[in-house]
């Protein structure tokens, strides 16, 4: 099956986010003990993004549940950040809208079929 254009876009965005996240994680690790912890978490998330990019690009069956999980994790993180005062309502709404759209797209029959789901 041919890769849906939306999956191609998501793969490219995940790859870009993963590379930029790797660079930011390494930079944050030099700040101190808290920076090391934050950098390691960012590093793990960046590697997950790169794995997701590869899985989306090659239509690996494991990439579909990973994509759903990453979006759900993003929603939880956005809500926690908002509750802790780290973002405003507009930022929360935009983040939730994008995540909801991606989740909706991943559950479309032609997208699920592309991943043999």
Express as a percent the part of the chain with pLDDT over 70: 100
Is pLDDT at 104 greater than 90 in this prediction? yes
Please tell me the least confidently modeled range out of 16-25, 31-40, 45-54, 100-109.
Answer: 31-40
Whole-number average pLDDT of the chain: 92
> Does 67 score more than 80 pLDDT?
yes
From CA 19, how far away is CA 21, in angstroms rounded?
5
pLDDT tens column, 7-33: 999 999 999 999 999 999 988 888 877
User: The whole model's pTM is what?
Assistant: 0.87
pLDDT tens digit sequence for 73-95: 889 988 988 888 888 899 899 99
């Amino acid at each position: 099956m041919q890769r849906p254009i939306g999956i191609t876009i998501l793969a490219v965005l995940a790859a870009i986010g993963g590379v930029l996240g790797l660079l930011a994680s390494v930079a944050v690790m030099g700040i101190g003990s808290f920076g090391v912890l934050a950098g390691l978490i960012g590093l793990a998330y960046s590697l997950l993004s790169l794995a997701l990019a590869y899985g989306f690009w090659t239509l690996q069956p494991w990439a579909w549940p990973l994509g759903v999980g990453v979006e759900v994790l993003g929603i939880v993180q956005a809500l926690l950040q908002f509750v802790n005062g780290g973002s405003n309502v507009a930022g929360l709404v935009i983040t939730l809208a994008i995540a909801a759209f991606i989740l909706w797209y991943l559950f479309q029959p032609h997208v699920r079929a592309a991943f043999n789901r």
